Amino acid sequence: MKNMYPKNGRVILHVDMNSFYASVEMAYDPSLKGKPLAIAGNPEERRGIIVTCSYEARKFGVKTTMPLWEAKKLCPQLIVKRPDFERYRAASMGMFDLLNQFSKLVEPVSIDEGYVDITESFELGSPLEIAEQIQKRLIRQLDLPCSIGVAPNKFLAKMASDMKKPLGITVLRKRDLPTVLWPLQVGEMHGVGKKTADKLKGIGIHTIEDLAKGNDIQLKALLGINGLRLKERANGIDNRPVDPDAISDFKSIGNSTTLPKDVSNQQELFQVLKGLAEKVSVRLKRKKVLATTLGITIRYKDRKTVTRSRKLLNPVSTQEEILQLAKGMLVSNWTGDPVRLLGITGTDLVENDHAVKQLDLFTYERDAKKEPLIDTVSKLKEKFGAHIIEQASNLSYEQKRQIGTETSFNKDFLQVEKRKKDSP
């Protein structure tokens, strides 16, 4: 069996659960199987938004992020359920527990997908046999369908898992690039969002093959170092290891300033926040990320320090958005005593192309005016496996709720996985 594995290379699986939230609901209530089902917030209200839907619902044109009223117009028999995060968390943990039985190298990248390096798992069967075992056991033990990509690296495994849904298993090797990957439009490539695809088309790059054969100098001038990285990916080059410790990473971008004198005038404090918001915004944009949690630090004359954070419905990066949120948090938490230091910090960072906006109908319409709506839709659908990360905190979940911070389900899950990994 070892002969079916490369001598020097790796074999990596990307396991992507199909329509995860809806599938979990169907597993919990089999009467829902085969019916058009949607998971949505505020199902009693017209402004509810589709979070995910079953493949039966998709046949009617129902899509993720679609307003609920529009989905029901397309599919009057649509069954709508509120998200049950505890239920999804339990199912996700069961999924990753199963994956860990096939390899010690399992990297969760979100609630419903992860990479598995099976290079040293040859005693369990061939790569294809292992993929089939995983798929069958997820169905048998959890009643949950998945698609699996089998490839020599993470990029190709991710591309492969997207090629057959639901319940697909796709093998993608480097020698398959010219016939399978290169003919695709560049916008279909993992890591290329709509804006990047538009930029590439502006220099005559329309397909993944065009990108694979692109000019290095031109790509770097257009996209910076990311342009060269994307060209490598298009040529099937990706040396990133499957890293179980990736869930331990935490990132934040923040700025604080000690005031020249203690300030108790609200308008003066607002001006300080304006400068801080600008600095944080510039750094977020430079790193091409958005913050999904915003924190504010207030230190008083007596050095007493108060830190508060707020989980955001929509990721932010602009100075205006950050400033308005920071102002509101200052007004809510400032005692009126003289302030010695102010700070703003963005945490739970997500890459621009990976950002998911949980939109109600009103923000949905407003965003559509700013940029093509398809940009928002594609970001959600692509599910780039964003490394959703959370800043370390000593607060319990209930404490966070008391101060207005709701921990996202994805990040909760990754935190639990980290604790499980760290425990003896």
Residue-range definition of the domain harbouring residue 41: 1-172
Q: Is 112 annotated as a binding residue?
A: yes
Instruction: Grade residue 365 by pLDDT with cuts at 50, 70 and 90.
Output: very low
Q: How many domains does the chain have?
A: 3
List the end-to-end C-alpha distance of the chain, in Å, as a whole number.
Answer: 33
Among 24, 13, 23, 15, smallest CA distance to 89 is for 24
Question: Are 118 and 154 in a shared domain?
Answer: yes
What integer pLDDT is reported at residue 45 of this predicted model? Answer: 55
What integer pLDDT is reported at residue 44 of this predicted model? Answer: 59
Query: Is residue 183 in some structural domain?
Result: no
Instruction: Grade residue 262 by pLDDT with cuts at 50, 70 and 90.
Output: very high
Question: Are 28 and 133 in a shared domain?
Answer: yes
Residue 232 annotated to the active site: no
Question: Are 194 and 300 in a shared domain?
Answer: no
Domain CATH for 71: 3.30.70.270
Q: Are 152 and 6 in contact (CB under 8 A)?
A: yes
Domain CATH for 220: 1.10.150
Residue 184 has pLDDT above 60, yes or no: yes
Question: Are 201 and 54 in a shared domain?
Answer: no
- Segment 129-155, tens digit of pLDDT: 999 999 999 999 999 999 999 999 999
For residues 363 and 324, give the distance between their C-alpha atoms in angstroms, rounded to a whole number. Answer: 16
Question: Are 162 and 197 in a shared domain?
Answer: no
Query: Is residue 241 in some structural domain?
Result: no
Instruction: For Cα atoms 382, 383, 384, give the angle at the middle one, nearest 5 degrees.
Output: 90
Q: What would the two tokens of residue 108 be?
A: 């969760």
- Segment 398-421, tens digit of pLDDT: 333 333 333 344 545 555 555 555
Question: Are 220 and 251 in a shared domain?
Answer: no
Q: Is 117 annotated as a binding residue?
A: no
Instruction: Grade residue 199 by pLDDT with cuts at 50, 70 and 90.
Output: very high
Report the b/e string of 2-30 with b at 16+ CB within 10 A.
eeebeeeebbbbbbbbbbbbbbbbbbeee
Question: Are 269 and 370 in a shared domain?
Answer: yes
What integer pLDDT is reported at residue 381 of this predicted model? Answer: 41
Residue 66 has pLDDT above 80, yes or no: yes
Question: Are 147 and 200 in a shared domain?
Answer: no
Query: Is residue 180 in some structural domain?
Result: no
Question: Are 210 and 307 in a shared domain?
Answer: no
What integer pLDDT is reported at residue 89 of this predicted model? Answer: 84
Residue 363 has pLDDT above 50, yes or no: no
Q: Are 25 and 32 in contact (CB under 8 A)?
A: yes
**What mean pLDDT do residues 341-365 have?**
64
Residue 391 has pLDDT above 80, yes or no: no
Q: Which of 107, 113, 321, 417 is catalytic?
A: 113
- Segment 281-326, tens digit of pLDDT: 998 888 778 888 899 999 998 888 899 999 887 888 999 999 999 9
Q: What is the pTM of this model?
A: 0.64
Extended strands (E) in 71-175? 79-81, 106-110, 113-117, 146-151, 169-171
Question: Are 299 and 322 in a shared domain?
Answer: yes
Domain CATH for 359: 3.30.1490.100
